[in-house]
Amino acid sequence: MAPTPPERTESVLTRSPSLAPLLARGAVLSPFRRPDPAAAHPRTRLVLPGLRPDPAGLAAYAKVCGFPAAADTLPVTYPHVLGFPLAMRLMSARDFPLPLLGLVHTSISVTRHRATPSAAFYDLAVHVDGLAPHRRGTEAAVVTELRSGDELVWESRSTYLARHRTTRSQASERTGDPELPAVEEWQLPGDLGRRYGSASGDRNPIHLHPLTARLFGFPRAIAHGMWTVARCLAAHGVPDAAEVRAEFRAPVLLPGTVTYAADGGRFALRGGSGRVHLTGEVNPL
């Protein structure tokens, strides 16, 4: 019989953590991590109450992702940006078993229960929901929640993969996707990663410059996965109450050309050779 996991504790913050020292700490600790789906993980739920989105930061984010500049509602992906520093605090902590360096964002699901006004105050909470085996390693799930008073208005679940040797089959678990019709072609500049990093705070070196990206095995800088899904959703449109799912399949090299494709609630981002970078779906609630 498996042991009962310890109860989750709650830690209330007075301000959002600074990302730079968290990324540095995670980098230093990464070589000492031993990924294992059976490993213990942080049981702390971080809470940041009374948060009001910064108008300047929100405007910069909307601009780089293609959302309407003057909208009075938060872009559907923006609460992920608000919660990212809290997630990094958990994933850079000593009790997080996966190495932060090389961690790959593999999927995100978002449920927006109602419109989220940009001028409102919210309570933000983030916790690690658990670890799971993956055919290429170990995957961690991170849950972010946004509340207005006692009401849960937005929530997401992201999965992050630490790649390592496993005994599981390496065969693809995906089935073939029907090709969606092309809608638009986008030319992505070489500095897109730096621009999105400035707006979101996510300055992972794989996104910033070809030289730093090569240190991690990429020939050039790559676009942030969360930029690709945000840009697709800005083009697609999302109802006030909706469920969004997206799967990150392959990195987008910068500079580059991609094709946004969509049909009904489904969308995708493809490269010039037809390589699929992202697939997703929007469903009204």
4 confidence band (pLDDT: 50, 70, 90): low
Place of tokens 């600790």: 29
User: What's the average model confidence in pLDDT over 216-231?
Assistant: 92
At 111-120, the pLDDT tens digits run: 999 999 999 9
Say if residue 109's pLDDT is above 90.
Answer: yes
Say if residue 169's pLDDT is above 70.
Answer: no
User: What's the average model confidence in pLDDT over 134-161?
Assistant: 95
At 67-99, the pLDDT tens digits run: 998 779 999 999 999 999 999 999 999 999 998
State the angle between helix axes of 78-91 and 55-65 in degrees (0 to 180), rounded to the nearest 10: 100
Angle at 72 between CA 68 and CA 75, to 5 degrees: 55
Which of 48 and 36 is assigned the larger pLDDT? 48
Say if residue 175's pLDDT is above 50.
Answer: no
Say if residue 105's pLDDT is above 70.
Answer: yes
Say if residue 14's pLDDT is above 80.
Answer: yes
Give the pLDDT confidence score for residue 186 in this predicted structure: 96
The number of residues in the chain equals 285
CA–CA distances in Å: residue 41 to residues 154, 175, 230, 239, 247? 24, 31, 29, 35, 24
Give the pLDDT confidence score for residue 168 in this predicted structure: 61
Give the pLDDT confidence score for residue 170 in this predicted structure: 52
Tokens of 203: 């300055």
Distance CA 26, CA 65 (A): 27
57 confidence band (pLDDT: 50, 70, 90): very high
User: What's the average model confidence in pLDDT over 23-45?
Assistant: 88
Give the pLDDT confidence score for residue 50 in this predicted structure: 96
